[in-house]
């Protein structure tokens, strides 16, 4: 059973979702990418994260193919790029995303990272889209604590539903203040690149050793770790059925205190404030 997290409004959504960055870049691979997303939906990974920026709209088209005939089962997250985050730009971008996705509404629409437009202007645009039924929730991505404070102080800012940020055992600075800030407001964090983009993290001796005890791979341990607090959504990207199946099975792993301590010993939790890193 895929665990859930609760949005500020009370709605429960899947805690383990699916990323789509780099999907839709190669037309020859699009069918396999859509098949992997469909297999994920079947296994309960019903939250799909995409963005207008990914493959210049190509990833949203792959999502459209994957969710065809099952719109009501999925929770779609997409993002407006900061250069389009003006009042008119947000509306235009949202309409284009809706068209590419082949849907009437986006479940959660995020500002991809802070940009040059005043956040009040972007929030105003998000609120209008919500009133029109084109989006159900809005949120942000790559916002540090100071940015979240600014949102909270802006009219309408109390409706921010999530902050999507880089989070994995080698990038855990947010545990110092951003995570507690969000938890205090019952706002789930969405962890991106939870596998560290399949780089050095998956060769971690600590994740490998913990994995041995659970008969699991380092990738599965990284996913279980990202989900451990019950308030975090994790969106690993898998474009093959094998990776997808492996990732979906990670929801059955319950990390013990000993597992977490062994991971902490190598991938140290922050002791001071660190600026938010982003990809
Ligand atoms: N808001 C932002 O600024 C931002 C930034 C980065 C990412 N994101 C979102 O977060 C999602 C996830 O992040 P990400 O794509 O950067 O990195 P990631 O999910 O940490 O890693 C993806 C890589 O891991 C591989 N992989 C997947 N499952 C695996 C497994 N079980 N074993 C070994 N390798 C595995 C994938 O290969 P295959 O594809 O070949 O399966 C891919 O190369 C993105 O797709 C995107 O939706 C958002």
Confidence band (pLDDT; 50, 70, 90) for 130? very high
Give 198's DSSP letter.
G
> In a mutational test of the pocket of ligand 1, which residue from 20, 243, 253 has the highest number of ligand atoms less than 8 Å from its CB?
243
What's the rounded mean pLDDT across residues 4-14?
Answer: 96
Q: Whose CA is nearest to atom 14 of ligand 1?
A: 193
Cα separation, 5 vs 279, in Å, equals 25
The answer to whether the beta carbons of residues 41 and 73 sit under 8 Å apart is: yes
- With contact defined as beta carbons under 8 Å apart, do 48 and 76 qualify? yes
* Tens of pLDDT, residues 135-148: 999 999 999 999 99
Closest CA to 125 of 103, 143, 145, 110: 110
In the chain, % of residues over pLDDT 90:
100
Output the pLDDT for position 38.
98
Instruction: Report whether 170 contacts 205 (CB < 8 A).
Output: no
- For the stretch 221-245, pLDDT in tens is 999 999 999 999 999 999 999 999 9
Q: What is the mean pLDDT of residues 82-87?
A: 98
Q: Which atom of ligand 1 has the smallest separation from the CA of 168? A: 20
| Distance in Å, CA 6 to ligand 1 centroid | 23
Predicted model pTM: 0.98
Q: Any catalytic annotation for residue 54?
A: yes
Atom of ligand 1 nearest to the CA of 238: 41
Q: What whole-number distance in Å separates Cα of residue 67 and Cα of residue 219?
A: 25
């Amino acid at each position: 059973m895929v665990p859930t997290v609760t949005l500020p409004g009370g709605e429960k959504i899947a805690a383990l979702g699916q990323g789509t960055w780099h999907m839709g870049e190669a037309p020859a691979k699009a069918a396999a990418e859509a098949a992997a997303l469909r297999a994920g939906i079947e296994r309960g990974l019903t939250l799909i994260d995409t963005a207008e920026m990914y493959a210049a709209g190509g990833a949203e088209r792959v999502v459209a193919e994957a969710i065809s005939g099952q719109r009501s089962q999925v929770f779609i997250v997409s993002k407006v790029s900061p250069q389009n985050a003006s009042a008119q730009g947000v509306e235009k971008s949202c309409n284009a995303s809706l068209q590419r996705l082949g849907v009437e509404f986006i479940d959660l629409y995020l500002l991809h990272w802070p940009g040059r437009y005043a956040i009040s202007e972007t929030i105003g645009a998000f609120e209008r889209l919500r009133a029109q039924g084109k989006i159900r929730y809005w949120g942000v991505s790559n916002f540090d604590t100071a940015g979240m404070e600014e949102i909270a102080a802006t009219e309408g800012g109390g409706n921010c539903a999530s902050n999507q940020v880089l989070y994995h055992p080698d990038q855990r600075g947010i545990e110092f203040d951003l995570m507690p800030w969000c938890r205090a407001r019952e706002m789930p964090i969405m962890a991106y690149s939870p596998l560290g983009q399949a780089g050095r993290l998956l060769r971690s001796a600590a994740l490998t050793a913990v994995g041995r005890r659970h008969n699991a791979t380092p990738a599965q341990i990284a996913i279980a770790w990202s989900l451990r607090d019950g308030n975090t959504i994790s969106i690993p990207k898998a474009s093959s059925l094998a990776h997808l199946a492996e990732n979906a099975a990670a929801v059955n792993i319950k990390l013990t205190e000993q597992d977490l301590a062994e991971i902490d010993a190598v991938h140290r939790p922050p002791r001071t404030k660190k600026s938010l890193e982003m990809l």
